[in-house]
């Protein structure tokens, strides 16, 4: 697939936030792993919802509520197709990846994890895919074990196999590392886990904006992602779960919208997905997510993947030429993200100099403290790409880094 097939000029004109100056400089936004900017169609969808069918869903019998409920379920169906789930009731709307993983840890944990059991995660996880499992293990008297990585930032699959015991209840791991850019072999990990009757949860926060996701092909049992990282708004996300697991799990939160009957003696619950969607959700956000998916589909996720691959390769090549740079992670399968440090320069200082040049990057521990500890560093600079970034922006980034290097290394 040719990477030139995206009309970048047209794409960039869809994102008003890209077209602004900061400190008098053209904004170069390279913090897309934290959150992406939004196309007009997503923003228009929110305005349209609040201007017309704004209403609660699955509650009222009036016109607006019926229309809002139809639209909301339509958005669920669009998410189903986007990740190729088998059924719409396998799609739970949440507030984002963090809430999705907390839901899974709480409800799966309550149903299936007991004292002496084991949960596996990996060294390259975001805190969102560590802390909920750590808390669950603490509450249950279970143990959290960590799959190690090699220096290139690849999971050690042989050591993963050795960590599996009869008491292992779940493997929770990221699809794409938000620090190293490593794309993990989800199918292989799922296969190994399933051979041992262990389900897998995939933290997909950094995946569907960069590569096609097919949960049936990956054969994962759970898949979590955030709307705001796939060009939709904040406060909306998804937990996909295979129906047989969701049916066997207890609700996460409880209240309105998730019950069939309540008395002071007992309560019966809706079927999935409503059983996991207590209270009023982010209805407009779900519609915005649908519009973001439509936007991605219009361009084509394969084309986006090819475009971003060539951009990332270009950036890697240019960065490697910078004197004194150390790039973390060298996996062959990577996308979207490059983290690095400059010899003798604090990551925060470099980030500050770049910021003043209008270049937005992320600095610090990147919500991955155990990984920072592994590399023996207090943090990194991270650049992360979206479909609207360009090679010209990479060139300006490199110029900025060179400027910063001269100023900061001299000082």
For the chain, the maximum distance between any two Cα atoms, rounded to a whole number of angstroms, is 73
- Our finding on whether 203 is near ligand PLP (CB under 6 A) is yes
Minimum gap (Å) between residue 102 Cβ and ligand PLP: 9
- Our finding on whether 334 is near ligand PLP (CB under 6 A) is no
String of contacts with ligand PLP for each residue 5-34, x by CB under 6 A:
----------------------------xx
Q: Which is nearer to ligand PLP, 128 or 389 (CB)?
A: 128
Binders of ligand PLP in range 88-127 (CB under 6 A): 96-98, 126
Q: Which is nearer to ligand PLP, 34 or 164 (CB)?
A: 34
- Our finding on whether 205 is near ligand PLP (CB under 6 A) is yes
Q: Which is nearer to ligand PLP, 3 or 46 (CB)?
A: 46
Q: Which is nearer to ligand PLP, 75 or 345 (CB)?
A: 75
Q: Which is nearer to ligand PLP, 33 or 120 (CB)?
A: 33
CA distance 372 to 363: 12
- Our finding on whether 384 is near ligand PLP (CB under 6 A) is no
Cα separations in angstroms, 381 against 21, 326, 342: 22, 10, 9
Minimum gap (Å) between residue 240 Cβ and ligand PLP: 15
For residue 273, whether the previous peptide bond is cis, meaning omega lies within 30 degrees of 0, is yes
Q: Which is nearer to ligand PLP, 171 or 404 (CB)?
A: 171
335 noted as active-site residue: no
**Reduced 3-state DSSP string for the chain:** CCHHHCCHHHHHHCCHHHCCEECCEECEECECCCCCCCCHHHHHHHHHHHHCCCCCCCCCCCHHHHHHHHHHHHHHHHHHHHHCCCCHHHEEEECCHHHHHHHHHHHHHHHHCCCCCEEEEECCCCHHHCHHHHHHHHHHCCEEEEECECCCCCECHHHHHHHCCCCEEEEEEECECCCCCEECCHHHHHHHHHHCCCCEEEECCCCCCCCCCCHHHHCCCEEEEEHHHHCCCCCCEEEEECHHHHHHCCCCCCCCCCEEEECCCCEEECCCCHHHCCCCCCHHHHHHHHHHHHHHHHHCHHHHHHHHHHHHHHHHHHHHCCCCEEEECCCCCECCEEEEEECCCCHHHHHHHHHHCCEECEEECCCCHHHHHHHCCCCEEEEECCCCCCHHHHHHHHHHHHHHHHHHHHC
Binding residue (CB under 6 A) for ligand PLP from 106, 122, 182, 206: 206
Q: Which is nearer to ligand PLP, 92 or 342 (CB)?
A: 92
Minimum gap (Å) between residue 199 Cβ and ligand PLP: 19
Binding residue (CB under 6 A) for ligand PLP from 226, 312, 339, 384: 226
Minimum gap (Å) between residue 62 Cβ and ligand PLP: 34
Minimum gap (Å) between residue 224 Cβ and ligand PLP: 8
CA angle 248, 172, 186 (to 5 degrees): 105
CA distance 122 to 148: 6
Binders of ligand PLP in range 32-61 (CB under 6 A): 33-34
Catalytic residue among 137, 220, 335, 367: 367
- Our finding on whether 128 is near ligand PLP (CB under 6 A) is yes
Q: How many residues bind ligand PLP (CB under 6 A)?
A: 14
Minimum gap (Å) between residue 347 Cβ and ligand PLP: 17
CA distance 180 to 159: 20
Minimum gap (Å) between residue 31 Cβ and ligand PLP: 10
Q: Which is nearer to ligand PLP, 208 or 400 (CB)?
A: 208
Minimum gap (Å) between residue 206 Cβ and ligand PLP: 5
Token readout for 198 is 């262990």
Binders of ligand PLP in range 158-187 (CB under 6 A): 174, 178
Query: Which chain residues interact with ligand PLP by CB under 6 A?
Result: 33-34, 96-98, 126, 128-129, 174, 178, 203, 205-206, 226
Residues involved in catalysis: 367
């Amino acid at each position: 697939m040719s990477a030139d097939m995206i009309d970048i000029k047209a794409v960039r004109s869809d994102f008003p936030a890209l077209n602004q100056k900061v400190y008098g400089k053209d904004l170069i936004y390279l913090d897309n792993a934290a959150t992406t900017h939004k196309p007009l169609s997503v923003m228009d969808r929110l305005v349209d919802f609040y201007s017309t069918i704004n209403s609660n869903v699955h509650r009222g019998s009036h016109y607006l509520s019926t229309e809002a409920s139809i639209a909301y379920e339509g958005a669920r169906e669009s998410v189903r197709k986007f990740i190729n789930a088998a059924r719409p009731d396998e799609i739970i709307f949440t507030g984002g990846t963090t809430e999705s993983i907390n839901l899974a840890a709480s409800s799966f944990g309550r149903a299936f994890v007991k004292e002496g059991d084991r949960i596996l995660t990996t060294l390259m996880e975001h805190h969102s895919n560590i802390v909920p499992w750590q808390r669950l293990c603490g509450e249950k008297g279970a143990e959290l074990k960590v799959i190690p990585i090699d220096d290139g930032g690849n999971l050690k699959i042989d050591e993963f196999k050795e960590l599996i015991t009869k008491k292992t209840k779940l493997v929770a791991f990221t699809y794409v590392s938000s620090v190293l850019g490593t794309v993990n072999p989800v199918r292989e990990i799922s296969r190994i886990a399933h051979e041992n009757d262990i389900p897998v949860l995939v933290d997909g926060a950094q995946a569907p904006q960069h590569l096609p996701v097919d949960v049936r092909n990956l054969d994962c049992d759970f898949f979590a992602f955030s709307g705001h990282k796939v060009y939709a708004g904040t406060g909306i996300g998804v937990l996909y779960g295979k129906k047989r697991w969701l049916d066997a799990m207890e609700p996460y939160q409880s209240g309105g919208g998730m019950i069939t009957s309540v008395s002071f003696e007992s309560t019966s619950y809706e079927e999935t997905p409503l059983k996991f969607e207590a209270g009023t959700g982010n209805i407009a956000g779900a519609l915005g997510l649908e519009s973001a998916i439509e936007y991605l589909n219009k361009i084509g996720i394969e084309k986006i993947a090819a475009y971003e691959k060539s951009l990332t390769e270009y950036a890697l090549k240019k960065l490697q030429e910078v004197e004194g740079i150390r790039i973390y992670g060298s996996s062959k399968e990577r996308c979207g993200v490059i983290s690095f440090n400059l010899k003798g320069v604090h990551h925060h200082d470099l980030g500050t100099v770049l910021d003043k040049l209008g270049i937005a990057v992320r600095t610090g521990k990147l919500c991955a403290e155990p990984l920072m500890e592994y590399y023996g560093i207090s943090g990194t600079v991270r650049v992360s790409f979206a479909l609207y970034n360009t090679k010209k922006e990479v060139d300006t980034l490199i110029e900025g880094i060179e400027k910063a290097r001269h100023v900061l290394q001299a000082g």
